[in-house]
């Protein structure tokens, strides 16, 4: 039990954060795109995420909650080193939440201000998450290499969110907004791909621990499906975006599926790269885990909470399936 409980909790934490990146990622991407749309299109973009964004953000609360309860030592170390980007991310998420409601309730002359603040909050949260991811992969170091790597991911992650957001708009929108989403996705996908490719090259160079895991036999052969599937997903999305006739036939959803597949492959690669550490080179999951009695008690609450959150999320997406409808706050 002492061996398996930390594995269960780290798996649940990884699942929660992966679902957050996918689900909240698309609505952060739509927020970043907001200034490029007309006033009517802004409303339709908000309508596309309105029923879902609260449920999407639940997953990051669950992930960080598991980190605090199950791995308190790691939680203290990670949050201490990432205090500034975590604070900025929270500011961004709070600003998004306030702007989301105020933009439709204030007088018309102030609506553009809250639209701008929704964009600022989305971009701030996205870049902060990228910075946090980069610093985490670098083992929370403060060297110039770590800072440069964090900056690279802070710039690349918003581009990924933008393409993911465009994929979601292919599912939820139609007409001119659908066509604009195609143009935005075409503009963002190549910078996103180049950024992720350069980061994938830089990661083993910057981290000797990760390089040792990926470039020793036979592990290197067994890991080949991860970069291959990532490349297939990227070039499939690129191919679909370059074929207007496919998009107009209603197959834009393929872009969203490809981005989700890329996210899954990158998450698997990251999990392999850091396991069994929870902080690379500093602490593994068993060293940082709470006592067995505490984990057994926490498992009861987690076993109740996770299915409920899953059910609620699936229920919301099932109820609001299909093209978005006018959003009401009444």
How many structural domains compose the chain?
1
Asked whether residue 326 is assigned to any structural domain, the reply reads no
Asked whether residue 327 is assigned to any structural domain, the reply reads no
Return the structure tokens found at 23. Answer: 């689900």
Q: What is the pLDDT of residue 222?
A: 81
The range of the structural domain enclosing residue 288 comes to: 4-319
Taking only the tens place, the pLDDT of each residue in 304-315 is 888 988 898 888
Asked whether residue 269 is assigned to any structural domain, the reply reads yes
Q: How far apart are CA 3 and CA 7, in angstroms?
A: 7
Which of 236, 143, 160 lies closest to 197 in space, CA to CA? Answer: 160
Position 203 pLDDT exceeds 80: no
Q: How far apart are CA 175 and CA 324, in angstroms?
A: 12
Question: pTM for the full model?
Answer: 0.89
Asked whether residue 324 is assigned to any structural domain, the reply reads no
Position 208 pLDDT exceeds 80: no
Please state whether 175 falls in left (phi above 0), alpha (psi between -120 and 50) or beta.
left
Q: Distances from the Cα of 135 to the Cαs of 73, 143, 145, 229, in angstroms?
A: 18, 10, 10, 26
How many CB atoms neighbour CB 248 within 10 A? 12
Asked whether residue 330 is assigned to any structural domain, the reply reads no
Angle formed by the axes of helices 53-70 and 292-319, to 10°? 170
Which of 10, 5, 17 lies closest to 267 in space, CA to CA? Answer: 17
- The DSSP output letter for 251 is I
CATH number at residue 194: 1.20.1630
Contact predicate 255/183, CB 8 Å: no
Give me the mean pLDDT over the 207-213 stretch. Answer: 74
Backbone angles phi, psi at 283, to 5 degrees: -160, 130
Taking only the tens place, the pLDDT of each residue in 127-178 is 999 888 888 887 787 778 778 888 888 888 899 999 999 999 998 888 888 8
Taking only the tens place, the pLDDT of each residue in 1-41 is 677 888 999 999 989 989 999 988 898 999 999 998 888 88
Asked whether residue 32 is assigned to any structural domain, the reply reads yes
Position 187 pLDDT exceeds 80: yes
Give me the mean pLDDT over the 86-97 stretch. Answer: 90
Asked whether residue 59 is assigned to any structural domain, the reply reads yes
Residue 283's SS3 state is strand
Position 329 pLDDT exceeds 70: no
Asked whether residue 197 is assigned to any structural domain, the reply reads yes
């Amino acid at each position: 039990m002492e061996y398996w409980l930390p594995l269960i909790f780290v798996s649940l934490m990884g699942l929660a954060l992966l679902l957050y990146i996918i689900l909240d990622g698309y609505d952060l991407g739509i927020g970043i795109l907001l200034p490029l749309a007309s006033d009517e299109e802004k409303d339709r973009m908000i309508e596309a995420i309105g029923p879902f964004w609260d449920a999407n953000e639940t997953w990051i609360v669950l992930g960080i909650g598991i980190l605090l309860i199950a791995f308190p030592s790691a939680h203290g170390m990670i949050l201490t080193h990432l205090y500034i980007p975590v604070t900025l991310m929270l500011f961004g998420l709070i600003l998004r939440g306030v702007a989301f409601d105020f933009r439709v309730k204030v007088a018309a002359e102030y609506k553009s201000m809250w639209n701008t603040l929704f964009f600022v909050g989305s971009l701030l949260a996205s870049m902060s998450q990228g910075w946090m991811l980069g610093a985490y992969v670098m083992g929370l170091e403060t060297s110039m290499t770590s800072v440069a790597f964090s900056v690279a991911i802070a710039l690349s992650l918003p581009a990924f969110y933008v393409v993911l957001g465009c994929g979601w708009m292919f599912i939820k929108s139609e007409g001119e907004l659908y066509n604009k989403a195609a143009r935005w996705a075409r503009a963002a996908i190549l910078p996103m791909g180049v950024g992720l490719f350069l980061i994938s090259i830089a990661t083993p160079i910057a981290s000797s621990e990760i390089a040792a895991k990926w470039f020793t036999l036979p592990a290197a052969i067994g890991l080949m499906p991860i970069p291959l599937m990532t490349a297939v997903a990227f070039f499939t999305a690129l191919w679909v975006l370059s074929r207007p006739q496919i998009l107009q036939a209603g197959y834009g959803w393929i872009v969203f599926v490809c981005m989700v597949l890329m996210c899954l492959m990158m998450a698997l690669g990251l999990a392999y790269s850091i396991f069994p550490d929870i902080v690379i080179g500093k602490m593994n999951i068993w060293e940082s885990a709470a006592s067995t009695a505490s984990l057994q008690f926490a498992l009861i609450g987690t076993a109740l909470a996770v299915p409920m959150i899953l059910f609620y999320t699936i229920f919301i997406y099932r109820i609001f399936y299909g093209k978005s409808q006018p959003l009401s706050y009444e």
